[in-house]
Chain A
């Protein structure tokens, strides 16, 4: 069968599954007074449509920030505004100021679900398809199976179509950034990533690898010649994009500062309930929240995060290849997830995206992690353990302390995410079945070196294996080795 038909079948199946999940209930359905994320998104449409731009981020008589106040960067607000215009043209009641609070109806649900699907269709899905077709190696069959796993990743589908959010937009934009970088269009890549950053501040999890990769590349090209030119071009792109996104807020510095304060709410505390990260697990032993002041908590988490990110960033700076970039993306987002301040459990999606990028190269590790990350919804500690293990494997950290933490966290009662996501078990199994089948296919066809399937004992072990893998592929005369040495840009 031709690749196009397999690809289109994969995409169609992914869309069917997405829409099938969205037929079920959303978070906070019929639960006044606050409802849930669905109401938050609807409320933002109401606010952005009815209030002047100056009031969006301020607590005014018309805009009660305590009721789902806007706390995402401007691009989210613009997106809400566009959706609000469409909503207004269909049914003005949906966005009526104040009166529409807690509005729920089957038609409105259909509209909201459709907006998510449209956003996914425009941004996320094309990026995934292009990434899998152009930036993964192997036969076309293998590319399609990577695409299949990527598109069916249950975590994203459940959060976006079950729970209700627009993670597909920010992740899609970030993926466009990765895609452009992989194809060598550095300015376009940084443009796409800046848009992602301006859609959701959580994209900061991915920012360091982007920065280090582009800086490293410029340095490699020579800071006196072409490198400088590249650096200037990228810098002006970034500045221009940010300026455009923030243009309406720049006239008044106070206004801009208020937006920033809304985006980074430090008052919420070190961690939320039952997040599978270090602080939450450490809480069993040491009550960091009560010992340290909130300022020192911030500094502590910042220091830990930076420390965890440092090795992969330094490596990326010295060796800016696309392969290193992908690894660093996974590593950095995991480090942020584990150590940074005020992590929400949904942030695991930011880790899942770079891990999905590695599906083709490290199938076992990636799929193991992706399963765990979805399962995290049910048992936080298992997910934590997997996440831990993954970061250990990738970044060669001092493993002793972390293993200790992991064993501690297992003793903790598993805090369950409020599981109003009806499709979770179904989707999880759908994903398991599909990935299991593809795995068997891999093994039977022997297209992957067996080394990739051996569970790495420690971090350096994995690295050695990667070396072996690299060499074996190189000696085998296959074109697969290119991606490791960074020449995928040219080969693509």
Chain B
């Protein structure tokens, strides 16, 4: 098929889309923000008023700096603008400080740093292959991709209501992906190492990057059957890659070399029992429910403050150590990595493996927040506008993944916003993708449709019926539990759908399938047990 790249100049619709969503974000300035607002304010204060050597030692607030150094530098540079808005927010001892100036500055900083995301989205849209025949704007793949990225429900909710800088970070990811799609691997690697030094959660994607760069960049030639030609190894390329990664890391960690152990321990998700992280559970949704409960339900337990989570030991199910979750994660992404090594099929295959890495770690990883589902949704958008199967997966994953973000916003004033935005995004993604892949055949199987329709029932039950029912008193977290379990089924399903399906991995996929089924059964069992425990004892054991 003859395809042309989207001409850079023909995107007259892009600026209105980007500007429109930025202005919409500005409307949420006075909306609810979570404790992450205070987290970032505290980091601004730390980086502004303390010497560099104290950044990772300061612990007068519970929200210690636990992002990699580049992010600390990012906060440091923001703080220079912040002092013109409200200099009181930059004092370390002003804990839980909120003022109109502080809110305005922090919200605007998210909106403006989203510029990186917008730039990343333009670059990705340029990489999309356009069909030759001139379609109208609304059904061009690049337009659909731009909407799916810029108006992404999850990003809007997490960044501009809940409060975080994910848009800024995802901007780097999208840029890096776009560079790889354009076969500029060194630039892509540079951007990704910067991203890693901004937030280490992207380490989950590193295996895909590592295997892909090693296989497709360091080895310059393949055999006829696609297997690697060992003699074509280029040490120079490997050196270049290594130099890029190490120099970025050196720049980032350089000023902190004297206390690198402290920094690393801060970054580690395995900190002591009074960390922000949660005790191990293989049962991902249940684990996430715990987290939610402890963050947001006001349980009468003195030792818990918002967001601070204690370690829990389940009474019946065996407690799982971090190493076990690590092994599970690695096992889950192994087949995909092997298939990437076995027969590389260009950047798109890489994108798919990247997706599997993020989904695998989302499902099996240690302390995964539901926000992490965005790590999978955004890269999948790029695939969804080009491939019918991926579009189906995208619909299942985004709908369930986005719905699982609902508990993040629990205040009544923000309820209409989350419902309306979610509906808007879902309606758009369904109709646009269906129009885009308007050949014979359907995007979703009937069972998938039924599942997604069931989401409506779950939503009504959890958001309206249960909070109004008398169970709200005895089981205040039941809605979260139901939401989490129901959504995990969809996420698991899309994880299976994304598995590469060639002969090499078929067997592994089948085994994985069985594993997942066992997993889901376990999950139901765990949920049941949790409910029984709650009913019997009125609280967690």
A12–B420 CB distance below 8 A: yes
Are B19 and A422 closer than 8 Å at their CB atoms?
no
Check if A24 is an interface residue, CB within 8 A of chain B.
yes
CB of B24 within 8 A of CB of A110, answer no
B17 nearest CB neighbor, chain A only: A437
> How would residues 376 to 402 of chain A score, 1 for a CB under 8 Å from any chain B CB and 0 otherwise?
000000000000000000000000000
Given A15-B420, A429-B23, A430-B23: A106 and B413 within 8 A (CB)? yes
A299 to chain B, nearest CB (A): 46
Bound-state CA distance A12–B418 (Å) is 11
The chain A residue sitting closest to B414, CB to CB, is: A23
Q: Which residues of B sit under 8 angstroms from A423, Cβ to Cβ?
A: 27
Query: Contacts of A25 on B, CB cut-off 8 Å?
Result: 30
A430 touches B20 (CB 8 A): yes
Contact partners of A444 in chain B: CB under 8 A = 12
Is A8 a contact partner of B427 (Cβ separation < 8 A)?
Answer: yes
Contacting pair A5 B23 (CB below 8 A): no
- What separation, in Å, do the CA atoms of A2 and B30 have in the docked complex? 35
- Interface stretch, picked from B194-202, B298-306, B428-436, is B428-436
Which B residues are in CB contact (< 8 Å) with A433? 16, 19-20, 23
Query: Cβ of A13 and Cβ of B413 under 8 Å apart?
Result: no
CA–CA, A444 and B13, complex, Å: 12
| Cβ of B31 under 8 Å from chain A | yes
Q: What chain A residues lie within 8 Å of B427 (beta carbons)?
A: 5, 8-9, 12
CB within 8 Å of B: which A400-438 residues: 422-423, 426-427, 429-430, 433-434, 436-437
- The answer to whether residues A23 and B27 also contact, given A16-B417, A433-B19 and a CB cut-off of 8 A, is yes
A434 and B16 contact, Cβ closer than 8 Å, known pairs A5-B431, A20-B27, A23-B27: yes
Interface core residue of A110, A427, A430 (most chain B CB under 10 Å): A430
Say yes or no: is A173 at the interface (Cβ < 8 Å to chain B): no
Q: Which of B16-37 contact A (CB under 8 A)?
A: 16, 19-20, 23-24, 26-31
Q: Knowing A426-B23, A434-B20 touch, does A23 contact B30 (C-beta < 8 A)?
A: yes
Task: Tell me if B13 and A16 are in contact (CB < 8 A).
Answer: no
Chain A CB count within 10 A is highest, among B31, B413, B423, for B413
Q: Is A85 an interface residue (CB 8 A)?
A: no
Chain A residues with Cβ below 8 Å from B420 are 12, 15-16, 19
Cβ contacts under 8 Å, B413 to chain A: 23, 106, 110
- Asked if B16 and A20 make an inter-chain contact with CB atoms under 8 angstroms apart, the answer reads no
If the complex has contacts A1-B432, A12-B420, are A110 and B27 also in contact, measured as CB distance less than 8 A?
Answer: no
A270 within 8 A of B: no
* Among candidates A21, A117, A429, residue contacting B416 with C-beta atoms closer than 8 Å: A117
Cα-based distance from A437 to B15 in the complex (angstroms): 9
Chain A residues within an 8 Å CB radius of B139: 1
Q: Tell me if A99 is interfacial: C-beta within 8 Å of chain B.
A: no
- B458 CB-CB contact with A under 8 Å: no
* Mask of A8-36 contacts with B, CB within 8 angstroms, 1/0: 11001101110111011100000000000
Please give the distance in Å from A18's CB to the nearest CB on chain B: 9
Instruction: Find out whether the CB atom of A12 lies under 8 angstroms from the CB atom of B16.
Output: no
Residue B138 CB within 8 A of the other chain:
yes
Q: Smallest Cβ distance from B3 to chain A, in angstroms?
A: 22
Q: Is the CB of A12 within 8 A of B24?
A: no
Give the nearest-CB partner of A109 in chain B. B413
Cα of A107 to Cα of B139 in the assembled complex, Å: 43
B535 to chain A, nearest CB (A): 31
Decide: B28 and A20 in contact? CB cutoff 8 A. yes
A440 at the interface (CB under 8 A from B): yes
Given A9-B424, A16-B420, verify A21-B27 contact (CB < 8 Å). Answer: yes
List CB contacts (< 8 Å) of B392-436 with chain A: 412-413, 416-417, 420-421, 423-424, 427-428, 430-432, 435
CB-nearest residue of chain B to A19: B416
Q: Which residues of B contact A141 (CB under 8 A)?
A: 136, 138
Which residues of the partner chain A approach B13 to less than 8 Å between Cβ atoms?
437
B155 to chain A, nearest CB (A): 15
Contact with B along A428-466 (1 / 0, CB 8 A): 011001101100110010000000000000000000000
> Across the interface, do B12 and A440 meet the contact criterion of CB distance under 8 Å?
yes
Give the docked Cα–Cα distance between A155 and B19 (Å).
20
Inter-chain contacts of B16 with A (CB < 8 A): 433-434, 436-437
A17 to B421, CA, bound (A): 10
Complex Cα–Cα for A229 and B522 (A): 76
A-contact 0/1 string along B114-149, CB 8 Å cutoff: 000000000000000000000011110000000000
In angstroms, Cα B137 to Cα A50, docked, is 57
For residue A16, which residues in chain B have a CB less than 8 angstroms away from its CB?
24, 416-417, 420-421, 424
Tell me which of B23, B416, B423, B431 contacts A1 (CB under 8 A): B431
Contact B435 A1 (CB under 8 A): yes
Tell me the complex Cα distance, A23–B138, Å: 31
A21 to B28, CA, bound (A): 8
Q: A17-B27, A23-B27, A426-B27 are in contact. Are A1 and B19 (CB under 8 A)?
A: no
Query: What is the distance, in angstroms, from B294's C-beta to the closest C-beta of chain A?
Result: 25
B25 vs chain A, min Cβ distance (A): 9
- Residues of the B chain whose Cβ atoms lie less than 8 Å from the Cβ of A21: 27
Contact assessment for A23 and B23 in the assembled complex, using a CB-CB cutoff below 8 Å: no
Residues of B within 8 A of A (CB): 12-13, 16, 19-20, 23-24, 26-31, 136-139, 412-413, 416-417, 420-421, 423-424, 427-428, 430-432, 435
Return 10 A-B CB contacts under 8 Å, by A number.
A1-B139, A12-B420, A15-B416, A16-B24, A19-B416, A110-B413, A117-B416, A422-B29, A433-B23, A440-B12
12 A-B pairs besides A141-B136, A437-B20 with CB distance below 8 A are A1-B138, A1-B432, A5-B428, A9-B424, A9-B427, A12-B420, A15-B416, A15-B420, A19-B420, A107-B412, A426-B27, A436-B16
Q: Which 6 A-B pairs have CB atoms at the shortest separation, nearest pair first?
A: A20-B27, A437-B16, A5-B431, A12-B424, A430-B23, A426-B26
